[in-house]
């Protein structure tokens, strides 16, 4: 077996402590030493551990609990909102949280077209009324080797698909994210071919685990996590879950997705979490949960075995 020795530039973010965690703990310790334990009560303590969490102004959502949730411990809100892959804003993990304040998620419209009987243009209020909202606590695995557990709020995408009624020609679903370089500084670079495009096979999009997501942690989505509407596909690597979606198109061919176009040998169309298929620059056999020190084994399909029948007879090493 060929073993490639890592240089410093090849070490993925999973090998280091997230900057936001490191800085928050330094801040907490410094404040504790300066003001004493008595001053760290109540909201002051919360603000030191999770800056801004107690003053978060986003809208609270009404939802029910979901049968699809994992029982695993949730990743803290601060970590999920300050350690992000959202290249529309920045390639740095802490960059989106710093730069997303210039983004205006409302008003918002999603167009649904292609091979469907009922083409639609949905504003944000119409999207929120498509189906009852529910909270689903999902595991997520990033291709770089880190993972999170997030309480998303939304509903199965198949609620929308059933309303638009795909024709027999529809085989795939293409998702296009917003293009606003005036508000998204990352789109002023050529790191990817903008706008961001992702896709699923129709049966993958119809699976009840595939989620159209409008919130997290009881509230509407923060800008840096894909506001106001994103996709959540928990058995695939994180980049498959397109953020800030403006178009959903039903097509008869496999779409050319952004990361596959940029590096086809590293990012396949399916991108199922598979510990047996390594990224060319690092192993996918283990992962590190944000906030944890030790790594853990990566689970096939990220532990969502109920999707395995979607791939019966497929070579998932070839169709990675």
Residue indicated by tokens 């557990």 = 149
Examine the domain organization and report whether 50 and 71 are in the same domain: no
Task: For residue 318, tell me if it sits in a domain.
Answer: no
Position 11 pLDDT exceeds 70: no
Let me know: does 179 contact 195? Beta carbons within 8 Å: yes
In this prediction, residue 132 has a pLDDT band, given cuts at 50, 70 and 90, of very high
| Among candidate residues 224, 75, 225, 241, the one with its CA nearest the CA of residue 151 | 75
Position 165 pLDDT exceeds 70: yes
Examine the domain organization and report whether 24 and 123 are in the same domain: no
Examine the domain organization and report whether 116 and 37 are in the same domain: no
Residue 288 CB partners (closer than 8 Å, separation 6+): 14, 145, 146, 147, 294, 295, 296
Task: For residue 44, tell me if it sits in a domain.
Answer: yes
Examine the domain organization and report whether 35 and 89 are in the same domain: no
Examine the domain organization and report whether 177 and 86 are in the same domain: yes
pLDDT at position 58: 66
Q: What is the pLDDT of residues 245-278, one digit of tens each?
A: 999 999 999 999 999 999 999 999 999 999 999 9
Domain, as residue range, for 24: 17-55
Examine the domain organization and report whether 74 and 223 are in the same domain: yes
Residue indicated by tokens 């999973």 = 14
Task: For residue 5, tell me if it sits in a domain.
Answer: no
Position 9 pLDDT exceeds 60: no
Position 26 pLDDT exceeds 90: no
Classify each residue of 80-90 as buried b or exposed e, where b means 16 or more C-beta atoms within 10 Å of its C-beta: bbbbbbbbbbb
Examine the domain organization and report whether 165 and 306 are in the same domain: yes
Q: What is the pLDDT of residues 146-163, one digit of tens each?
A: 999 999 999 999 999 999
Question: Total structural domains in the chain?
Answer: 2
Task: For residue 79, tell me if it sits in a domain.
Answer: yes
* pTM (two decimals): 0.84
Examine the domain organization and report whether 99 and 136 are in the same domain: yes
Residue 60 CB partners (closer than 8 Å, separation 6+): 218, 219
In this prediction, residue 81 has a pLDDT band, given cuts at 50, 70 and 90, of very high
Q: What is the pLDDT of residues 103-129, one digit of tens each?
A: 999 999 999 999 999 999 999 999 999
Task: For residue 50, tell me if it sits in a domain.
Answer: yes
In this prediction, residue 46 has a pLDDT band, given cuts at 50, 70 and 90, of very low
């Amino acid at each position: 077996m060929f073993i490639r020795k890592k240089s410093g530039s090849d070490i993925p973010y999973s090998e280091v402590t997230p900057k936001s965690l490191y800085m928050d703990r330094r801040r907490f310790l410094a404040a504790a030493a300066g003001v004493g334990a008595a001053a760290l009560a109540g909201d002051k303590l919360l603000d030191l551990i999770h800056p801004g969490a107690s003053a978060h102004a986003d809208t609270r959502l009404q939802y029910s609990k979901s049968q699809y949730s994992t029982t695993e411990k949730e990743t803290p809100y601060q970590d999920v909102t300050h350690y992000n892959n959202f290249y529309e804003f920045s390639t740095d993990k802490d960059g989106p949280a710093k730069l997303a304040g210039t983004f205006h998620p409302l008003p918002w419209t999603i167009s649904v077209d292609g091979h469907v009987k009922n083409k639609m243009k949905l504003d944000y209020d119409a999207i929120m009324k498509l189906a009852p909202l529910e909270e689903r606590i999902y595991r997520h695995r990033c291709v770089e080797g880190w993972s999170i557990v997030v309480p998303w709020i939304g509903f199965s995408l198949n609620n929308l698909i059933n309303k638009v009624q795909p024709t027999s020609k529809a085989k795939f679903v293409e998702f296009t994210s917003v293009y606003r370089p005036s508000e998204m500084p990352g789109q002023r670079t050529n790191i990817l071919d903008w706008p961001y495009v992702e896709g699923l096979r129709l049966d993958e999009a119809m699976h009840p685990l595939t989620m159209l997501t409008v919130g997290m942690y009881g509230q509407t989505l923060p800008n840096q996590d894909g506001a106001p509407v994103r996709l959540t596909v928990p058995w695939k690597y994180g980049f498959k879950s397109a953020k800030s979606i403006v178009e959903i198109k039903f097509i008869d061919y496999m779409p050319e997705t952004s990361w596959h176009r940029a590096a086809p040998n590293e990012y396949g169309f399916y991108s199922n979490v598979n510990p047996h298929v390594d990224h060319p620059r690092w192993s996918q056999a283990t992962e590190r949960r944000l906030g944890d020190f030790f790594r853990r084994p990566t689970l096939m399909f990220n532990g969502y075995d109920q999707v395995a029948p979607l791939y019966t007879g497929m070579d998932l090493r070839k169709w990675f």
